[in-house]
Amino acid sequence: MFNYDKFFEENPVGIHDQPERHSTVAALCTGHVVDIGCGTGSLCSYYKGEYTGYDVSSVAISKAVEHRRADAHFSVADFVILKDFDFSSFDTIVMAEFLEHIEDDSLIFNSIKETAKPGTVIIISVPNADNVPSPDHVREFTAAELRAKLQPFGKVKFHEWPGSNKRFIVSCIFKHPETPLLTLGIVAKNEGKGIERALLSGLACADRIIVGVDDSTTDDTEKIARKYTDNVFTFKWNDDFSAMRNDLLKRVETEWTFFIDGHEYISVPPSREILKTNFHDAIMCQNKLENGTIVRYPRLHHSNLRYEDKVHNKLVCNNLNVESDVMIIHDRVGGQSDESTKAREIQRNDMILRIMGGQIKDNKKNLRASMHLGLHFHTRKNYKKAIKYYKLYLRYSKYPGERWYIRFNIAMCYSQMNRFYLAGYNARLLEKESPNRWESHHVYGFILFMDKCYKDALQEFVASLDNKKQESEYKPLERNNAVTFNYIGECLFNLKEYQKAGEAFKRASKRCDDGNFKGLLSRRSNLMFEMAIANEK
């Protein structure tokens, strides 16, 4: 058996102090707190309310009494063998980094069940499975095991904090009925590199998690998924992405489903208030790609909806909420192995050319086919073919947001081919497709700059600084005023307006987050001011 008295004798009083973890736990506490397995009482330095701490080590309790605040109460007690402890006077029960040290917690939870009052907050912090190995740990907990353990007691919630990949922080409101609202859905094949990050990103916002794993998967995707949910199933791939998602949706029992891929993660989750008060069938989410492009798509929707189309599947829905800040980060590099990425690209490329190529032969007015074939060839730098399908899309489409995005891509294709007249022609048409978008000015300015039309480019870059907000399904550029002011500075330099160029580079430097580029911009600014003085002489 681990000697805790010896451990606390040999280590300083703050051995277990972890500011981020303790601050997160303290923020969840309310009223009179009982801290079981309190050690030297670190939590009472973060929670300022009424506090009582218990630990099996008399040495730890002695140090807590000596070093922690005077109004905190500390006592020696072994909750493994303590029967019929009365929790009725406490509002919060904390067991932080404690349960993994004991083999049997039945007496504790029996006492909670018999004596705690309704509404009592139970807070547990434990290592995430085997992610924090230690010789004094006698058992491990997965997220699925924790949820199953606490659900009989009341409403369970996992809490996001910077150390979630190492330790879970989960709360349960005793005898508070749980009303599951949201299921996180993931369908995956060989996503072992990123699926844990994906699951962790949705753990705090989802009430249920369902993972579908392709039965041809060869890595540890399924094993990792089972750490976070008991609802894991395998499916047989039948050349249809919609069928795959619909198969998962048949298993959902909550009102809402939130789909992400195994190589993605949620950076801005949906709030429960939005879900409870939203009368739409689906909510647009922002999906940020590796190149900074933001594509909006209804990944969050009522669970009774279904998908259609075998490749680049789409949700069948007419009632959309487009005003949402929910953000998903698409990250194949950080979330998928090189081998899996290559296999996925081969599969998608085959399906796009085979299925959508066939669709466009059957019907030239098929907008989804022409759009995605254009995007397919664009990403492969086959600009002539991309433009061919983009123009086919524009011939029949009447959707302003998509038309703007396709026109933007045509302009970029022509600029990559150094055909600046045609690039500029299409850039000028962007305002007609969808007015008041800053990106229209920015891309036109970029094309004029590449064509060395610095005076006109300057006007467009300045116009792009307008902060008007324009909602759209497609945002191909990420606003970065440091980059814009750098272009303004470059234009002014080429126009020999050195003083103004120095001011522009100075503004760029102030807005820059990249340390190396910031220094370069600052040096450019100083050089422009020196050239302005020399020019005056």
Q: Whole-angstrom Cα distance, residue 203 to residue 183?
A: 10
Three-state DSSP at 368 gives helix
Q: Measured between alpha carbons, how far is 301 from 281 in angstroms, rounded to an integer?
A: 6
The pLDDT of residue 472 is above 80: no
Q: What is the pLDDT of residues 85-135, one digit of tens each?
A: 999 999 999 999 999 999 999 999 999 999 999 999 999 999 999 999 998
Q: What value, to the nearest 5°, has the Cα angle with vertex 249 and ends 221 and 281?
A: 125
Confidence of residue 19 (pLDDT cuts 50, 70, 90): very high
Q: Which DSSP letter does residue 270 get?
A: P
The residues of the chain that CATH labels 3.40.50.150 are 4-174
Architecture in CATH for domain 4-174: 3-Layer(aba) Sandwich (3.40)
Q: What is the pLDDT of residue 108?
A: 97
Taking the model in full, what pTM does it have? 0.88
Q: How confident is the model at residue 350 (pLDDT cuts 50, 70, 90)?
A: very high
CATH class entry, domain 182-330 = alpha beta
Which residue's entry shows tokens 């609202």?
A: 181
The DSSP string of 205-237 is T-SEEEEEEETT--SSHHHHHHHH-S-EEEE--
* The pLDDT of residue 529: 95
Which residues does 370 contact at the CB level (< 8 Å), separation at least 6?
360, 364, 389, 390, 392, 393, 396
Q: Which of 48, 39, 35 is nearest to 17 (CA)?
A: 39
The per-residue pLDDT for range 429-447, each reduced to its tens digit, is 999 999 989 999 999 999 9
Instruction: Grade residue 152 by pLDDT with cuts at 50, 70 and 90.
Output: very high
Angle at 212 between CA 208 and CA 214, to 5 degrees: 165
Cα 531–chain centre separation: 46
Q: What is the pLDDT of residue 471?
A: 65
- Of 144, 83, 80, 154, nearest to 123 by C-alpha is 154
- pLDDT interval class at 356 (50, 70, 90): very high
Cα(277)–Cα(398) distance, integer angstroms? 32
Per-residue pLDDT tens for 133-150? Answer: 998 999 999 999 999 999
Q: What sign results for the dihedral spanned by CA atoms 117, 47, 172, 182?
A: positive
Closest CA to 442 of 423, 462, 422, 419: 462
How far apart, in Å, are the Cα atoms of 405 and each of 137, 259, 296? 55, 24, 12
Domain with CATH 3.90.550.10 in the chain: 182-330
Position 140 scores a pLDDT of: 95
pLDDT band at 468 (very low <50, low <70, confident <90, very high): low
- pLDDT above 70: percentage of residues in the chain: 99
Distance between the two ends of the chain, CA-based, in angstroms? 84
Looking at residues 270-279, what average pLDDT do you find? 88
Cα–Cα distance, 429 to 184 (Å, whole number): 41
